Amino acid sequence: MASAVKPIFIFLAYISFHLSLIASKTKDTTPAVWPLQFHSILFMNNSGTLQKVDLWYDWPNGRNFNIIQNQLGKLTYDLEWDNGTSYIYTLDSNKECRVLHFDVGILRPNWLDGANYLGQQEKDGFLCNVWEKVDFIWYFEDVITKRPVFWAFYTGYTAHVMTFEVGAILEDSQWQAPVYCFNEGEEKRKKEAVIESLGWSDNHQGNLMRGISSVSMTL
Ligand SMILES: *[C@@H]1O[C@H](CO)[C@@H](O)[C@H](O)[C@H]1NC(C)=O
Ligand SMILES: *[C@@H]1O[C@H](CO)[C@@H](O)[C@H](O)[C@H]1NC(C)=O
């Protein structure tokens, strides 16, 4: 009798061991929630146009900043508020500003929830877990540190994460759009035209990030 019971226990132990392996595997393959506040330097490639972006994510204050240095070119500020308003401006003598209104706020810290796990892949020399969300973004996270390493939008626009400083905050005074963003009239339309001619109105990181929010919400 005892000898018949024993194999069953061994079998049960075997099964539960494997179930816990499956459980821990599932747990590992959920993307890390974004820290509530961080600073990241990104190298972006938009079909061969290169940019360095300082990303300041500040969820408790409902704001997100992309400070974009185009290679040997314009320095552009893209300040996004959770109420849907974005200010896109330069701080040079051209005094360009464009104000955009979106129906969605900034990305939630858990914006990657529900992403499809695609397995592991090496990226930029790091072993990463990879996810895809709503055919909009492909996201690579370091297997060991859980830090993001790379993401790519469906447009081919890519981001390589160079630094990731958890808890870093940009001081309040830096989150102020310049006064010419609040001017009305002809002068403003002229300035908006300048920024529009740069292709800023649709295909940049800020808009695409907002796009993920809106696509995720409608699903
Ligand atoms: C940028 O992306 C293009 C493809 O869109 C690629 O041909 C090019 O090599 C990339 N440049 C860099 C510096 O990665
Ligand atoms: C959203 O918040 C910003 C910053 O406080 C403000 O400048 C902007 O006018 C607000 N937008 C709306 C639509 O209330």
pLDDT score of 208? 79
- Report the nearest atom of ligand 1 relative to the CA of 48: 1
Distance from the alpha carbon of residue 101 to the mean position of ligand 2, in angstroms: 9
Which residue in the block uniquely carries the two structure tokens 């821990």?
24
Q: What is the pLDDT of residue 196?
A: 61
Give the Cα separation of 162 and 74 in Å (integer). 21
Radius of gyration, CA atoms only, the chain: 22
Whether residue 4 is predicted with pLDDT greater than 70 in this model: the reply is: no
* Ligand 1 touching residue 201 (CB < 6 A): no
Cβ(173) – ligand 1 distance below 6 Å: no
Give pLDDT tens digits for 92-142.
999 999 999 999 999 999 999 999 999 999 999 999 999 999 999 999 999
Question: Rounded to 5 degrees, what are φ and ψ at 198?
Answer: -85, 0
Q: Range with the lowest mean pLDDT among 21-35, 77-91, 169-183? A: 21-35
Smallest CA separation from ligand 1 atom 3, residue = 48
Among 45, 47, 150, 155, which residue has the most ligand 1 atoms within 8 Å of its CB, making it the best to mutate?
A: 45
pTM, rounded to two decimals: 0.83
Q: Is 69 in the pocket of ligand 2 (CB under 6 A)?
A: no
Name the percent of the chain lying above pLDDT 90: 70
DSSP state of 103: S
**Per-residue pLDDT, 197:** 55
Is residue 80 over pLDDT 70? Answer: yes
What is the dihedral sign for C-alpha 151, 157, 163, 168?
A: negative
Among 3.30.230.20, 3.40.50.800, 2.50.20.10, 2.120.10.30, name the CATH number for the domain at 37-217: 2.50.20.10
- Give the range among 13-17, 31-35, 171-175, 189-193 with minimum mean pLDDT: 13-17
152 lines ligand 1 (CB under 6 A): no
Mention every residue, 6+ apart, whose C-beta is less than 8 A from residue 185: none
For 94, phi and psi rounded to 5 degrees? -70, -25
Residue 76 has pLDDT above 90, yes or no: yes
Ligand 2 near 85 CB (within 6 A): yes
Find the mean pLDDT for residues 28-46: 94
Two tokens at 100?
Answer: 């955009």
Atom of ligand 2 nearest to the CA of 177: 7
45 lines ligand 1 (CB under 6 A): yes
Q: How confident is the model at residue 212 (pLDDT cuts 50, 70, 90)?
A: confident
Give the model confidence (pLDDT) of 150-205 as tens digits.
999 999 999 999 999 999 999 999 999 999 999 866 555 556 665 665 555 455 67
Task: Classify strands 97-101 and 158-166 as parallel, antiparallel or unpaired.
Answer: unpaired
133 neighbors 117 (Cβ within 8 angstroms): no
**What value does the mean pLDDT take over residues 50-61?**
98
Residue type for 71, please?
Q
Which protein residue's CA is at the shortest distance from atom 7 of ligand 1? 48
